[in-house]
Every structure is written in C-alpha cells, then in structure tokens.
Chain A
Amino acid sequence: MVVTQITKETIGNSKVLVVGAGGIGCEVLKNLALSGFKDIEIIDLDTIDVSNLNRQFLFRKEHVGKPKAVVARESILNYNPDIQIKAYHDSITSQDYGLNFFKKFNIVLNALDNRAARNHVNRMCLAADVPLIESGTSGYSGQVELIKKGVTQCYECQPKPPQRTFPGCTIRNTPSEPVHCIVWAKHLFNQLFGEEDPDQDVSPDTEDPEAKVEGQAHSATNAGNIQRTSTRRWVQDIKYNPSQLFNKFFKEDIEYLLKMENLWKTRKPPVPLSWEQAASHEGDSVEEENNVRMQDMKVWPLSKCAKVFASTIDVLKNEVSEDKFLVWDKDDKPAMDFVTACANIRAHIFSIATKSRFEIKSIAGNIIPAIATANAMIAGLVVLHAFRVLLQEFEKCPSIYLRQKSVHSKFILAADKQITAANPKCYVCSPKPFVNVFVNTNSMTVKEFETEVLKKGLNMIAPDVVLDGRGMVVISSEEGETEINNDKKLAEIGIVEGSILKCDDFLQNYELSVAVNQYEAKEKDDPLYKIVANPDDLKAKESVNGGEKNGNEEEKQAESDQDDLMVVEESDDPQEGSSKRRKLNPIEDNDDDLCIIDS
C-alpha cells in the first residue's frame, strides 16, 4: 500500500467514528489526526482516572474526573485546530445513536472495553452497512479485525467463551481458591453496606445438594437462611459492632458449616476463628511501613486483617444510611481494604492461600493490565486497515494478532492469510438469524427471560417479542403494554418446548427467531439457561461435561504455553467502564472477561 494522492483525498473526505477514547482510542485519534482525517466523531461515557494516565496520553493529571471524549477532542484540536471533531460524553448503546447516526460515517473504529458494547456496535454497523474495525489489547497481546457485512465474519459469528461464574454454594460453603473468598468478601460488603441482593447471600447454604444426607430432604434446618434474611436489620441493631460481626461471620457461621458433615468428607474442614483469636494472632508484630511494597504488595498478617476489618467498618457504617447504600468500588480505599481483610480472613479459615491487597484488587476489580506500547501497535494497525477499507480493499484486511513473544514462528505481529468469511449459522449476521434457547419454561418468568436471556445473553437493548403462530405480543418495548406478563412463567402464557419467538430490536434493526427448548438444571453448576446458535455445538459441548467454567479456565492457562492461541482482550480497562456505573459484580457478571480466539 502506498499513501498516494488518491488515498490522501479519500482520507480527507471521509467521516470516521471512534467508539471509545481509552487506551486504544487515544492512539487511534492521534494516528487519524496525523494521517489527514479531517472529520472525526468520538464517543465515550467514561471519565478520566489517574490509572489511565500511563497510556491514555491525551489526558493529564489536571484532567482527572473529566469526560474522556471531551478532553480527547481538546487535545487533538490543540495539535491541529483545523480538524472537525465532535465529542459525545455518552454511551454508544443509547437510543440517541440509531441507524441514521451510524449511516453518516464511512467507517467506524471500535476502541471499546466490553463485550456488550462491541456486540451492539457490531449490529449497528451491520444494519447500517458501514465497515467496522474492531480492536482490543490485553497486556502484551492484542488484535485487529475488519467487520464488513457480506464480506467478513461479524463480531458475533464465533461463540465467545462464557463468563467465569461460581456456584453459590462454592462461595457460601466450600471455597477452594482465593477468588472464591474474594467474591464472598464482596458479597459481604454488599450485605452490610450495599443494595441487598438475595443472590449474594454470605451465610451457609443449607440447600447445597452435597450436604444432603440420603433419605432426608434437608440435612440441616433452614434456620441459617431464614435468620439471614434480615441481616441488615440485625447489623443495625448491634450498631455495626465489629467484634460481634466478626464472630458471626467467621466463627458462628463456620461452626454451622461444620455441622454439614457431608461437605467435609473429602475436604479439609474450615477452622472457626473468633475476634479475640484473630486480633491477638501471633507472629504478627510487623511494623507498619509507609511504602508501597509493604502496604500493598505484602500479605497482611491476620491481626492486621482483623484490625482493618474493624476500622473499615467504622468508616463505612457512617457512609451508609436508611435511604443510601454503597456501591463497591475497587478505588475506594476503605471498600477495597475491607474486601482484602475479609477475603484473607476467610482464606485463613479454609486453609486457602492469602493474597496481598495488590493481588486482591486485580481479582476483585477484574483489572486487565494495559500498556501504551501494545495500544500504539494495535492502533497503528487499525488506521492502516482503515486506509485500505476506505479504498474498498476489504480483502487486504485480514485479522492481525499481536503476540507477547513469537516462540518458534518469528511472528510478533501475525496477520491471517485471508479474511474470514461469515459463519452461515451466525445468529446475528446470517440472512435469517435463528437461535436455540434452553430454559425452564415452568420456572422462568417472562421478565427474567427478557432481562437475562434477551438482554444479557443475546445483547438486545429493547426487544419486542411475538409468539409465533399465535401472533401474540408477549414482550413490548413500549411502556404499559405487556407488564402484565412480567411475573408469569413462560409456560403460563404458552411459551413452551417448540415455541418460536420472533424477537425484534428496533434500535439494532435486528430480528431474531428464538426456538424455545425445555431444559432443567440438574447439577448445581448448571447455568440458568443456554444459548446455542448451532445445534451441532450442543453435542460437542456436552462431551466437555458441561464444566464450562473449568474449561474456560484451562484455556486461559493454555494461552501461556501455546503460541497459536491468542488472548484477546475485550478491553483495555474494562472495570472502569462497568463496575462503578452499572454496579455489576465484575467477577460474576462482568462481560469483560478474556476471550480466547484461536488464530
């Protein structure tokens, strides 16, 4: 490719949308501005954080707290005031950015940090028939991919690995890894100070199928569960007394767990820990040092965990009130300290490795490491591809992967030999999108189906759903039309095995036929529902014993050993876009998990 006069003219006349002004976004904007692009729009809903400044070089310390899109625009204008650049401090999934918005552009460049937004832009670009260049980095690795309707595969052609989730009883009863204790500690934070969520119970789970004794419906009484329904009331009654709280969660609840004997037949039983024992734990006379390594990098001794448990509760209890609850944030010091202390105390009780505050922050905040160099490389490739796309040279834009090291192949940047064709069974970009959904129609409500399956699982924004054959509208995006159905079970309104639902998302200009399959979760690890684009995948999946979480974990590990596996980060810094605003639990719900694509 030569940057000829034609290329320059094409560039000068093109209108480009950059979605995301983070690590890759800043680099892309700089490359565009220096390459002669004169009409740029940039959208990002995030504000600037100190931890962005090591790579998001359009921002400086004095910009912390300001909207990324707005500051990025100012920085680019400061370099070249002649560029037309429009900034939106907003979410790209908002209804304000419909088909006509996308149709304005010659090309869209994604520099996003989460899968939901990527899926959405993918659909908008398919609907508007605008070429999209998708990119991402994770640590030293990254990738660039062109998505063009009718030419290449789309972002959703290949199923992505599911999020890593943990069964409730592993968290509540039988943790075996540090991450289980960290999830539990975050749940405890929410129980004490956050919005109460029944799915985040921290007390012993008496429904654990493992704890059942044969011939007996329940091994223990339901007392544990019932008692805990009023956790918040009880906590307020004892005025957040730290020693009482400590003894409740780390001594009495553990003693209760020990009574569920079946759990400990093959496991090492936990050891209850009282406030007095913890506070005076021996071998802990480490002097407080005021440097980073000591505070953050070293594992706190048990007595310090107990001390921090008490002191953070004293701070946090004053922030919470009858009508105000706290949202856990890794960058809020007492909140992060509280989780560090609780995770380590629980780990100690269950003989699990304890971790430093620094390490726990990575896991609890789902932090993906990010560096300027990888972003610069990927952003350079994005704009090189953009040149070719604007010249309609789509075939010359196969995906390119940045590797941490080349191992035997010599490739640091490895381009595919050719573009990848669309998956004919893709439930997004095929001519007649179709997908199989496996749900329990007798227990799932219509509202759950809308929120969990259609919105979270299939990434629709505002679906309208018609039950095929009967022509009945079961879910409407218009307010006040179908709320009456919300609490009904699917089967009650006639959605059963074999039903076909015509789901239409007006914003995404996306119509999907959903075939309903009856499915009942059997194992405790089984998901609430399954989405299967290609029925053949089902058979393959079953042979992997359904342990999707473990499978995913193994893939992640394999990546460090195999040269041909590629980790593709969804993101440069996912938690910044999600945990604060959407109050997601990053570990369990965050859609920004690593996904692995075989190059």
Chain B
Amino acid sequence: MAEKQLSAVEAELYDRQIRLWGIESQEKLRAANVLLINIRALGSEIAKNILLSGINSLTILDDGTVTEEEQQKNFLLNKGSVGNPIADEVLIKAQALNPLVKIKVDKQPPSSKDSSYFKNFTIIVATCIKTDLLLKIDKVCRSSNVKLIYGDVFGTFGFSVADFLDHNYHEDQIKLAGKKRTHGEKDHEKTTIKVQGVINYPELKKVLILPNTKQSADSIKKSKRRNELFYIMLALMEFRNKNNRNPAIESKEGDLKTLETIKADIFQLYEVDELKTKLPADIFELVFGEEVVPVCSVVGGVIAQEVIKAVSEKEVPVNNIFLFDPITFDGKEEAIGA
C-alpha cells in the first residue's frame, strides 16, 4: 500500500459509497487483505462485491477445476474455461472488476495450508468447505486476530456464519433539535453522534455443534424461538462432511434419506420435537440441485456487506448466523452460542 490517504482517482471511483460509509471506512477497506476460500457461484458473487468495494488485496484459494455446470453459474468464467483450474480462469474478469485491487490466486487445496498461512489476512471468507477445516481455520483466526465468515448456498437455501471476534463498531445517529420559527418554518439542527458498540462473537466450535462431537449443545438448546432453518443448515453441513459432496439430483432418493437421518440426529441432539416444528415436510426438496444463481446474488451480497462492516468497523453487523428462507425469501439473523 503506497499511501495511506485516498487519491483523487479513488475518491471519484468510490464516491457513491464514500457518501454512505464515510472516508475513514474507505481507508480501512483500502488497507484490508482478504482471503477467499473457493470461488464457485457464491464465491464469485462475494469476490465481485468486495473487489468493487476497494480492498487492498484479494487472495483466491481454490484447487478446483471448471466443470460445465460451474461455468454456467459463474460469470467470472466463460465457455473456454471448462477443464482448466478455476483459480486461473477467474483471474482476468475478477481483475477487470477493479484494476486497483491486487489479486493473487492459489491453486493448492485449502486443507494443505498450515496455520501460518491464515494469519496474514484481515479477514477470511470461506465457502464450500467442510466443518472440521472451518473450525481449524477459526482457531487460527482467533489466535491471530483475523475475522472469519463462512457461507454456502444449497439450491434455493443459503446462509452465513460469522466469527468477528470481539467486534467493535460505531454507527452514526442523526439527532434533531427542531426549534419552531415564525411562519411554520422549522430550523433543524442536525447533529451526528458516533455511537460505539461491541459484539462478542463466540468461537465457531461453540456454534456449529454437530451430532457425535464432544462439544455440548446445552447452551444452544435453551433458546425457544429458534429459527429452525438453523437445523437445516447443520444437516446440510453434516451431509457434506460425511459424503464429501452436496446433495445431488442424480442421487436424490438416497440423499433425501441420508438428510432425514441426519436431521433426526440433530433434532435429538438439540431436543427438538419434530412434531412441533414449523418446517415444511418437504423442506429438503428445496436444497437439491445446483446453487440457484439469484440466491447466490442475495447471500453473496449479505456476506460481502458483512465483510465490509467487519473491516470498516462501521455499522452494526448481523449476528453470527444469517439464514435465507427458501420459501418466503425472508433473510433473518440469529445469535447462536453467545
């Protein structure tokens, strides 16, 4: 990073967002080094949004190869990309989104990286990874003061899980002191106050508790008005952990059975009475098939916005869990494990 202060070129380019989050936030973004683990449909959306925001550097870590299906839902690829390493293929279009950001690509498997690798970043964004690796990275992050957010999209369902450590933030609140003048004119004296806040994020091993782990789920069970999509999220994560892939249409019948079994285990662990849940019986129908692109657009927008909040320390971030409802299209936050 050459200079601490924004150049006139940057001020012009980022004008419309500086008017929203202020120049200090933009300067913090400008100093941020982001690691993105896996750049598939959701990852490409996140990459686009954070590249546009004007971070210092983006490292893309992905050891995958472009398949035809992947090419169809990832706008950073094109038809000639099929068969080549994803990390290489996204580079040109990713860089075109913002020539001011330094982009590095890394084709090694995320699981091959040792702890020291993850310490070099301001924030890590992970998609499409297994829970044990996520928890391992979280442990490194916590010891190195690196923030972490993970997200995935399964069919029309999507979510994110964040560990922003002990996150300090501020927000601007506008206060009005209106004094009546003659003839009904009002004189508004607006003052902007900086309101400080802190959110203490629990470590992910206390949030993502799956069946057959040593961690106790007691603290999570207690909540009465739990968003039940949380359990669906856990079931999908567990499915991938066990099967090394996402539920697939080709093996739908078997996969549905597996998912139901996992769900039953999760309900047992969290002492959820299945008869009392409001989840539709066919909820898993909605999680099959490839990631639905517009859902990636929504969830990728949410995750990138959280990255921006985490880096700029401006505005209240959402609590550690975000769940996108595949039926109503509501997007709700949830504080779990805190």
Residues of A within 8 A of B (CB): 1-3, 27, 30-31, 33-35, 50-51, 53-55, 57, 60-61, 78-81, 139-140, 170, 174, 176-177, 210, 266-267, 291-293, 295-297, 358, 362, 367, 369-377, 379-384, 387, 400, 404-406, 410-415, 523-525, 545, 547, 550, 553, 557, 560, 573
User: Contact: A51 with B13, CB < 8 Å?
Assistant: yes
User: Contact: A31 with B293, CB < 8 Å?
Assistant: yes
- The count of residues in chain B whose C-beta lies closer than 8 Å to any C-beta of chain A is 77
Q: Which residue of A lies closest to B304 (CB)?
A: A373
Chain B residues near A55: list those with CB within 8 A.
16-17, 52
What is the bound-complex CA distance between A296 and B185, given in angstroms? Answer: 31
Within 8 Å by CB of A380, from B5, B78, B297, B305, lies: B297
Q: Which residue of B lies closest to A407 (CB)?
A: B316
User: Contact: A573 with B329, CB < 8 Å?
Assistant: no
User: Contact: B13 with A292, CB < 8 Å?
Assistant: no
Within 8 Å by CB of B286, from A1, A292, A411, lies: A1
User: Contact: B330 with A415, CB < 8 Å?
Assistant: yes
Within 8 Å by CB of A2, from B5, B285, B305, lies: B285
User: Contact: B332 with A2, CB < 8 Å?
Assistant: no
Q: Which residue of B lies closest to A547 (CB)?
A: B184
What is the bound-complex CA distance between A33 and B237, given in angstroms? Answer: 29
Given contacts A51-B12, A296-B11, A372-B48, contact A34 B5 (CB under 8 A): no
User: Contact: B6 with A292, CB < 8 Å?
Assistant: yes
Those of B258-293 within 8 Å (CB) of chain A: 285-286, 288-289, 292-293
Residues of B within 8 A of A (CB): 5-8, 10-17, 19-20, 23, 45, 48-49, 52-54, 72-75, 78-79, 96-97, 99, 155-156, 173-174, 176, 181-188, 227, 285-286, 288-289, 292-302, 304-305, 308, 315-316, 318, 322, 324-334
User: Contact: B20 with A371, CB < 8 Å?
Assistant: yes
| A75 → B minimal CB distance (Å) | 9
User: Contact: A373 with B301, CB < 8 Å?
Assistant: yes
Q: Which residue of A lies closest to B293 (CB)?
A: A34
Could you write out 18 A-B pairs with CB less than 8 Å apart?
A54-B14, A54-B54, A140-B315, A210-B182, A292-B6, A358-B19, A367-B16, A370-B17, A371-B20, A373-B302, A377-B298, A377-B305, A379-B297, A400-B329, A411-B330, A415-B329, A545-B184, A553-B188
What is the bound-complex CA distance between A412 and B334, given in angstroms? Answer: 11
Given contacts A51-B13, A140-B315, contact A377 B8 (CB under 8 A): no
Within 8 Å by CB of A376, from B54, B156, B227, B297, lies: B297
Q: Which residue of A lies closest to B187 (CB)?
A: A176
Chain A residues near B184: list those with CB within 8 A.
523, 525, 545, 547, 550
| B1 → A minimal CB distance (Å) | 15
Chain A residues near B49: list those with CB within 8 A.
372-373, 376
User: Contact: A139 with B20, CB < 8 Å?
Assistant: yes
| A555 → B minimal CB distance (Å) | 12
User: Contact: A550 with B52, CB < 8 Å?
Assistant: no
5 smallest CB-CB distances across A and B, nearest first, come from: A380-B297, A413-B331, A376-B301, A380-B298, A369-B20
Chain B residues near A33: list those with CB within 8 A.
75
The total of interchain contacts (Cβ-Cβ below 8 angstroms) comes to 209
What is the bound-complex CA distance between A79 and B155, given in angstroms? Answer: 23
What is the bound-complex CA distance between A383 and B325, given in angstroms? Answer: 15
Chain B residues near A35: list those with CB within 8 A.
292-294
Given A2-B289, A177-B187, 14 new contacts (CB under 8 A) = A80-B78, A267-B182, A292-B23, A293-B5, A369-B17, A370-B17, A371-B305, A376-B300, A379-B294, A380-B298, A406-B318, A411-B331, A412-B332, A415-B328
| A111 → B minimal CB distance (Å) | 13
Within 8 Å by CB of B16, from A54, A210, A376, lies: A54
User: Contact: B183 with A210, CB < 8 Å?
Assistant: yes
What is the bound-complex CA distance between A272 and B77, given in angstroms? Answer: 64
What is the bound-complex CA distance between A387 and B295, given in angstroms? Answer: 12
What is the bound-complex CA distance between A50 and B304, given in angstroms? Answer: 22
User: Contact: B75 with A291, CB < 8 Å?
Assistant: no
Chain B residues near A376: list those with CB within 8 A.
45, 48-49, 297-298, 300-301, 304
| A76 → B minimal CB distance (Å) | 9
Given contacts A380-B297, A413-B324, contact A57 B48 (CB under 8 A): yes
What is the bound-complex CA distance between A523 and B183, given in angstroms? Answer: 9
User: Contact: A292 with B52, CB < 8 Å?
Assistant: no
Chain B CB count within 10 A is highest, among A3, A61, A177, for A3
Q: Which residue of A lies closest to B16 (CB)?
A: A370
Q: Which residue of A lies closest to B173 (CB)?
A: A560
User: Contact: A362 with B174, CB < 8 Å?
Assistant: no
User: Contact: B11 with A50, CB < 8 Å?
Assistant: no
Chain B residues near A267: list those with CB within 8 A.
181-182
Chain B residues near A80: list those with CB within 8 A.
78-79
What is the bound-complex CA distance between A547 and B12, given in angstroms? Answer: 37
User: Contact: A292 with B5, CB < 8 Å?
Assistant: yes
User: Contact: B298 with A413, CB < 8 Å?
Assistant: yes
Within 8 Å by CB of B11, from A61, A292, A380, A525, lies: A292
Q: Which residue of A lies closest to B328 (CB)?
A: A415
Chain A residues near B78: list those with CB within 8 A.
78-80
What is the bound-complex CA distance between A413 and B298, given in angstroms? Answer: 10
